[in-house]
Structure 1
Amino acid sequence: MKLRTRLAKAAPQRAAPARSLRAGAAAARRWAWAGGLLGGLVALVAYAPAAWLANAVSSASGQRVLLAEADGTIWSGSAMLILTGGADSRDATTLPGRLQWKLGLAGSALQVSLQQERSLNGTVTLQVRPGLGRSEVRLLPQPGWIGQWPSALLSGLGTPWNTLRLGGAVRLSSPQGLVLEQAAGRWEMKGSADIEVLDASSPLTTLEQLGSYRLHLSGNDAGQVMLDLSTTEGALQLKGDGMIAPKGVRFRGEASASEGNEAALNNLLNIIGRREGERSVISIG
């Protein structure tokens, strides 16, 4: 009787280590699964295909900016850059050369380094700071011009550019850099930039060249982007000013022919805006 009592007391003591071993094995399996899942997620992020970035850019731009033939990963890849007039547009322009990018961290920001032979002046750097309710895109200052592309790329934006079929080059510069901030669904610009159209031409006139023009953009404290259009040189004289505000674009300007070029530019002036005598009035918004 005493022997059976001692055996009964010893049985739970022998069972306890067995349960501990089974619990330890189960915990090990859970940690192994968690480790495998974490490793899979790290690998997925590290080797995420460039096509994911292409889809994000297309969606964010309303299909106005496309990264075609994307190759590599979201961290280091390349693609052909295409500009279009949007989802329903049939106009599209492919920029020469492949756009190459490298994506990494710079403090709390994502830093994107861009290169494109024949289009970008060396390496162009953007810093993106996403946040809850507020995001920021910063173009770092760069001496000289930033990018230069054939004016024909504007045709991809639709009317009126696809009618004008401009020749020449479009150049972007921003020596002090600029910042785009998004909050409550609205974008604001800080800093300034110049968009120049150099040696513009059009098959709508018999003149070899129309001229060269500069559109200056500058942000103000009211969240508006002020616009100032001027002519650097040329037979077609353009001038005007306006703004990009939360409610849309407003611009007032005029076009006219320099002395001796009135007949050659008459048809083009009829297309650019509303004729008032010798000048053509441009009104947007």
Structure 2
Amino acid sequence: MKRLWWLFAAGLFLLALIVQWPAAWLAPRIEQATQQRWRLGSVRGTVWRGQAVLYSLDRSSGRWHPGRRIHWDFVWGELLRGRLAVQTGLGDAGRVRLAAGPRSWSIEELDATMPAEQIAVLLPATLADYGWSGPMHARARVFSCQWGRAGCVGRIDLSWTKAAVAYVPGPPLGDYQLRLTAEGKALRFDLATVRGRLRITGAGELSGGALRFTGEAWANGEHAGNLETILQALGRPGAAPGRYLIEYREKIR
């Protein structure tokens, strides 16, 4: 009887440890998963329910910049479906549910806004170093991937407003729509301009360790400024005067 009591007490102690598992445990995991480009600060609560400030790395200066405060709640009901799921909120900036099961992980119910510079640090290769800025709103119902890079399926729609790049002086370039579509091991993206002084349309793909994009761009309106000179350097003349064919190729390490 005494032995059973000790086992019961040990079980309660273990359960208490699990329930009170500190949220700080997540910080190094987030940093590792994002290749040291995101980290959590001012972490409070537990793994199951907590909050923190999301920091992003400025790769050019090596400094960490604070972003939005996020909070999360473990969705216990998903255990009945054999999944782990966390509902994450960004205050008035939106929400997203992150889920993982034995065979796949997924991004669900995504409806959130983040600064482009905080998202850009996650981009592959030199794309992250162009000094992106402007709010970016993302929407997706379900975007899921198999473990072990076996392939993904789903779509994410991005709206980028007041888009700007540090290398292009002057007012914002414009507002753009970017659609990401996962097709197995390939990620296709389609870009269109809503409005702005830089008009660009095109499509590309990330697959087989290579990033490819082909499109057409042109300067627009009285605020076009020095865009014409930049487009001449980046592209080659298109079918119509003032339009330029843009091609981008880069190997992803």
Mark yes or no: TM-score above 0.5.
yes
Equivalent positions of 1:1-285 (< 5 A) are 28-84=1-57, 90=62, 92-96=64-68, 98-105=69-76, 106=78, 107=80, 108-120=82-94, 123-129=95-101, 131=102, 134-140=103-109, 146-154=111-119, 156=121, 159-160=126-127, 162-166=129-133, 168-174=134-140, 177-183=141-147, 185-186=148-149, 188-202=151-165, 205=168, 207-220=170-183, 222-258=184-220, 263-266=225-228, 268-269=230-231, 274-277=234-237, 279=244, 281-285=246-250
Select the structure of larger CA radius of gyration: 1
Q: 1:101 Cα shift?
A: 0.5
Residue 93 of structure 2 aligns to a residue whose secondary structure is: coil
Following TM superposition, by how much is the alpha carbon of 1:51 offset from its aligned partner in structure 2, in angstroms? 0.7
Unaligned 5+ residue runs, structure 1? 1-27
Do 2:235 and 2:245's aligned partners in 1 also have CA atoms closer than 8 Å? yes
Question: TM-score of the superposition, structure 1-length normalised?
Answer: 0.71
- Does the aligned pair in 1 maintain the 2:186–2:206 contact within 8 Å? yes
Residues 91 and 157 of structure 1 are in contact (CA less than 8 Å); yes or no, is this contact kept in structure 2? no
SS at match of 1:39: helix
Q: Aligned pair count?
A: 240
Identity of aligned residues (%): 25
**In structure 2, do the counterparts of structure 1 residues 110 and 280 end up closer, same or farther at CA, with 3 Å as the change threshold?**
same
Write the deviation string for residues 88-115 of structure 1: whole angstroms up to 9, x where unpaired.
982544223x101101321222221112
Contact map agreement 1:84 1:157 (CA 8 A) in 2:
no
What CA distance in whole angstroms lies between the structure 2 residues aligned with 1:248 and 1:75?
Answer: 38
Q: CA RMSD in A?
A: 3.0
8 Å CA contact 2:149–2:185 kept in 1: the answer is: no
Check the 8 A contact 2:198/2:224 in 1, yes or no: no
The separation in 2 between residues aligned to 1:84 and 1:269, in whole angstroms, is 29
Distance 1:89 1:42, change over 3 A: farther
Higher normalized helix content (fraction of residues): 1
Native 8 Å contact 1:211 1:231 kept in 2: yes
Greater share of strand residues, 1 or 2? Answer: 2
Post-superposition offset of 1:280: 6.5
How far 1:173 sits from its partner (Å)? 1.3
Please give the per-residue CA displacement for 1:34-69, whole angstroms capped at 9, x wherever unaligned: 333322221111000001122222222222221212
Contact 1:190 1:219 in 2 (8 A): yes
Q: Quote how far apart the aligned CAs of 1:169 are.
A: 1.3
**Structure 2: runs of 5 or more not aligned:** none
Q: Residue 179 of structure 1: SS of its match in structure 2?
A: strand
Report deviation, 1:239.
Answer: 1.9
- Of the structure 1 ranges 152-161 and 197-206, higher mean CA displacement relative to structure 2 is found in 152-161
Q: Distance in 2 between matches of 1:246 and 1:30?
A: 59
Deviation, 1:227, is 0.9
Does the residue aligned with 1:209 lie in a helix, a strand or coil?
Answer: coil
Letter in 2 for 1:64: R
SS of aligned partner of 1:31: helix
Distance 1:212 1:192 in 2: 20
Distance 1:138 1:156, change over 3 A: closer
Q: Hey, what's the Cα distance between the residues in 2 that align with 1:248 and 1:204?
A: 24
Give the C-alpha shift of residue 246 in structure 1: 4.7
Separation in structure 2 between the aligned mates of residue 284 and residue 196 of structure 1, nearest angstrom: 24
Change (3 A) 1:62 1:202: closer
TM-score under structure 2 normalisation?
0.79
